[in-house]
Every structure is written in structure tokens, then in C-alpha cells.
Structure 1
Amino acid sequence: MPPPEPVAAFVRWFWIPEWRLAAGRTSRQHVIAFPACNLVVEPHTVGLSGPTTRRSHRDLTGTGWAVGALLRPAAVPFFVADPARLRDAYLVVDLPDLQSRVTDAMTGATERAQRHVLAVDAFAGWLTATLPPPDPEALLANTMTELIDTDPGVVRVEDVAARLHVSIRSVQRLARRYVGLPPLAMIRRRRLQEAAQRVRTDPSTDLAAVAAQLGYADQAHLANDFRTVLGFTPSAYRGSTQGSGTAVVR
């Protein structure tokens, strides 16, 4: 769900899964997450999930829900001074007011759509009341990530620096403080996510053409990124999407 305007500088979007599984059944959810932090409220806890460098998964059982906010870089320093320490990690955070507000919203309405609207409003209201306005550097970090995520012409750190009219060192510093990953890793993740999306939506797509279009030196470099992050090759991923599926790009 898109964020309300007052928190648009802090949240890219809100996501709300709900599940109800039969006793003894487990559903494994595989994710290629964005290179960003997520603040997640669940029935009994609040957690901060750091930027990821590889595929992750979660096994769902029983009945449950989660309300997550994919954070923009401007929000990150409020929750963690060094996001690099949270790479591929999850930290329980003590935010009882946020947990209480969101839980009340998720348990106080009977209609699913209404629950989600109320939960997002509660989450956004807490952020608005708690986080200070972003300063110019924080907003520049937001612009940096938007550029990397949306501009296919950005294939090198030098491209980012040129478009932002700053030095390469400034780009590296912004990424370190506000994201927790090097800017080159962010660029590689965006290219990999786009490649995975293309393979999943069109299994007949030519992998060499995809590699060339996304700025990889050749198909072998694309395959190496797939193996490093996903644990299998593009061809294996293509085969899995035609069967039961083994990964979700989010």
C-alpha cells in the first residue's frame, strides 16, 4: 500500500500479509528483498529487518499477520546508527506504542480491507509523531536510492555521482549511513531483481539479451549474480517459475 503523504519521505510502501494455515501445515515464503530496512509490527513484537544480500525465507504456520514498512533511507538513522551491522539480520526493537496502535487496528475491524487501512493509518500516525523532519542530506539519500532503483542507465557508481552532482565518495558515504550496503551492491541488486522479474514473467526470454540490456558484461556475469544471491542459475530459476515456484521478488 502506498504511504500517506505525511510519511512519504520515510516509507516507500506498507505491506500487510495475513495467513491462516491448517494445523501441521507450513508455508515457506522465499523473498528477494529490496536492499533496504523494513520496520515490521507483529502481534507480540516489533522488529527491524536490515538490508539483505541474498535470498531469504520465512516459514509461516498457524494464524498470523504482519504490518511492515519498507523504509526509505531518510528514516533509517532514527532506528539504527550503522545499518551495515543489520545486513541479513533482524533486530527486535522496543516500540510498545507502535506495536499497540497497529495491533489495535489489526484486531479491531472485521473486514480485511478496513483492517489494512486502519493499520497503515496507525503506523503512519506513529511515524509522523515520532520522527523529526528529514534534513537535506537524508532527502539526498532518498533521491540516490530512487535513482538507482528506477534508472536503467545507472550501471556504475560514477553514474550515480554524475546524476546527483556529487563526488563518488559522497555517494559511498550516503549509502553507508542510510542504506547499509555499498552503492555498487545496490545497483547489482536492482539489476538482478529486474532480471528475475523478466525471467519469471516471460520464461522464454533470451538470457543473453537480458544480460546485455541490464548492463552485465555477459550472460556469465548475470548467472554468477543469480548463484550468489539466489543459490541457483537463471535457467534453474526459469524452470522453478514454470513449476511450483521457489522465489518471490519484492
Structure 2
Amino acid sequence: MGTSDRGILYPARLPTFRRVAPPASVADRVRWFWIPEWDLAPGRVSRQHVIAFPACNLVVEPGFVALAGPATRADVRDLTGRGWAVGALLQPAAVPALTPDPAAERDGYRHLDLPDLHAAVVAAMTSPDPDPDPGPVPGPVPGRHDRAVAAFTAWVEARVPVPDADGRLANALAAAVDDDPALVRVEQVAARLAVSVRTLQRLARRHVGVPPAAMIRRRRLQEAAELVRERPGTDLAALAAELGYADQAHLALDFRTTLGFTASSYRSAQ
């Protein structure tokens, strides 16, 4: 399964939304940039449900910059009017530069005083596009999203340190959990990275804000929602086994406690 809309419960309801791979210069600090935009008719509301990745996000909105902490429940936001955001899903290695205790940021959305980042991204998103190069062979003109990602990238390069050995290992932890559905126990992740479970717990505490086991549960729930949506005829017991749940009851419990509804009701709502 890919990650283009993983974690988004109702992709068809989304406004304009892009995920942009980071330039190589900051790929060790940003997993990807994401940019939603919306322009809704008066009185209309677009409700967005997201199973966020177990990570921190640095988000620029028109009026402020915020640090979104690691989520332990589904995130629901009602969009109205006209707006946009430019966010960076942070690699674990980048987190200590923004908060000394990511666990304290859980399910939070804390405003940060980062006027230089805010000014650069807002200027990129609100300035008119330049005219094409009038030369004999016009070159491509960067759009607003490209300019916003470039401004965000420049800020990260200047303000977020290059990862040390612990940061690189924390990045490897997140990559292993997020990218390999065969890893369903913390001990398997520790063996993959050739470290102890205690080391993984220490890394997650400093760089992620939720334990490794919670990171695995979050990835499995994202995958479960994606499979229920994309393969509506799949038997839920078979799906639970495919994702490494002990049984269908554990999958059902994960849906209810995190999302507040059952896998069956989610499937019916598509």
C-alpha cells in the first residue's frame, strides 16, 4: 500500500490536497510536505477525518505556525470558507529541535513563535505567480506550492540540525514501522535494526512521543482503514489476520477506541 492518502479516512471528501516529497537536502528531517487548500461556498462545511501518522508535524497556516504533536486518536477538523496550510511531517530526528518532550505534545496543536518561517511560506502561498520567462525557450515557472516547499526547506536547512547517530536510528525506527507491514511486534523491529527493545523505547520517547508498540498499532489501523475502503468485499476476520491482529475482535476494538465507530460502519459509509 502506498502513502498518497494513507491515514485519510474519506479521501473523496478532501479539498485540493498534495503530498510532496522533500528535497534530498532535508529528507533526513522531513518525511514529506503536505498542502491542503479549500474554497467552500458560504454555509458549507467539509469535515475531515484523519488517522495521523505517529509523528510530529510542523504546520504553517495563514495566521500562525503550530507544532502538531503525535496523535493517539483520530483527528477531526471542519473546514469552512477559504484557506490553506503547508505542513511538514517531521522525521523523528527533527523533533528535538522543536520540543524537548514530544510526549507532552500528544494530540496537541501548539502555536510556535517562528515569524521567519511564517513570513516565507505565507509570501510563497499568497504572491502572484510570476510571468513565464519571455526568452526564446520559456522555462517552467514554479507554482505556489513549489515556492512554499522551497521556502519551508530553506528554513529547515538553516534551523534544524543534521541528525546525529541517535536521530538517524530514530528515523530508521519510524521507517521500519511505517514501511514494513510484516513487523507487528516491537521485538521484530528491534531485531531488524539490531538494537534492544529498551533502545527503541528510549529513541521513541525522545524523538516520537509515543512508544514503539503504539507506532505499530497506528500503522496497522491506517492500513486496516485503507483496506476496508479499497476492498469492501474483504472479510474482516481475514483482514485482521492479514494485518497481524490476534483476531477480528482486536481489530474491532482498535477501530472503536481510536475512531469511535466500527470497521463495518466505516465500510458502509464509503
Structure showing the higher helix proportion among its residues? 1
Counterpart residue type for residue 28 of structure 2: A
Which segment is superposed worse, 221-230 or 15-24? 15-24
> Structure 1 residue 24: deviation in Å?
2.2
Q: Is 1:21 aligned to 2:50, yes or no?
A: no
Q: Helix, strand or coil for the counterpart of 2:70? A: coil
Q: Helix, strand or coil for the counterpart of 1:129? A: helix
Could you tell me which of 78, 82, 100 is aligned with 1:63? 82
Q: Distance in 1 between matches of 2:47 and 2:242?
A: 32
Q: Which runs of 5+ in 2 are unaligned?
A: 1-19, 131-140
- For the 8 Å contact 2:29–2:162, the answer to whether it is kept is no
Q: Distance in 2 between matches of 1:9 and 1:152?
A: 22
TM-score of the superposed pair, with normalisation by structure 1: 0.94
> Structure 1 residue 25: deviation in Å?
2.0
- Residues 166-212 of structure 1: CA distance to partner in whole angstroms, max 9, x if unpaired? 11110001111100001000001111111110000111111111111
Could you tell me which of 93, 111, 118 is aligned with 1:74? 93
> Structure 1 residue 129: deviation in Å?
1.1
> RMSD over aligned Cα, in angstroms?
1.3
Q: Helix, strand or coil for the counterpart of 1:17? A: strand
Could you tell me which of 104, 110, 115 is aligned with 2:144? 115
- For the 8 Å contact 2:255–2:262, the answer to whether it is kept is yes
Paired positions, count: 241
Q: Distance in 2 between matches of 1:226 and 1:60?
A: 24
Q: Is 1:138 aligned to 2:157, yes or no?
A: no
Q: Distance in 2 between matches of 1:152 and 1:22?
A: 41
> Structure 1 residue 160: deviation in Å?
1.1
Counterpart residue type for residue 104 of structure 1: A
Q: Is 1:210 aligned to 2:229, yes or no?
A: no
> Structure 1 residue 113: deviation in Å?
7.1
- Residues 29-62 of structure 1: CA distance to partner in whole angstroms, max 9, x if unpaired? 1111111111000111000000101111111111
- Residues 117-146 of structure 1: CA distance to partner in whole angstroms, max 9, x if unpaired? 000000001110111211011000000010
Q: Distance in 2 between matches of 1:63 and 1:142?
A: 35
Q: Which runs of 5+ in 1 are unaligned?
A: 242-250
Tell me the equivalent position of 2:58: 39
Q: Is 1:159 aligned to 2:188, yes or no?
A: yes
Tell me the equivalent position of 2:30: 11
Identity between Structure 1 and Structure 2 (%): 64
Q: Distance in 1 between matches of 2:128 and 2:24?
A: 24
Counterpart residue type for residue 171 of structure 1: L
Could you tell me which of 102, 115, 129 is aligned with 1:96? 115
Could you tell me which of 67, 85, 88 is aligned with 2:104? 85
Q: Is 1:232 aligned to 2:251, yes or no?
A: no
Counterpart residue type for residue 232 of structure 1: F
TM-score of the superposed pair, with normalisation by structure 2: 0.87
Tell me the equivalent position of 2:222: 193
Q: Distance in 2 between matches of 1:28 and 1:233?
A: 19
Moved over 2 A (4+): 109-113
> Structure 1 residue 110: deviation in Å?
4.0
- For the 8 Å contact 2:29–2:90, the answer to whether it is kept is yes
Counterpart residue type for residue 222 of structure 1: L
Tell me the equivalent position of 2:202: 173
- For the 8 Å contact 2:93–2:163, the answer to whether it is kept is yes
Q: Distance in 2 between matches of 1:55 and 1:152?
A: 21
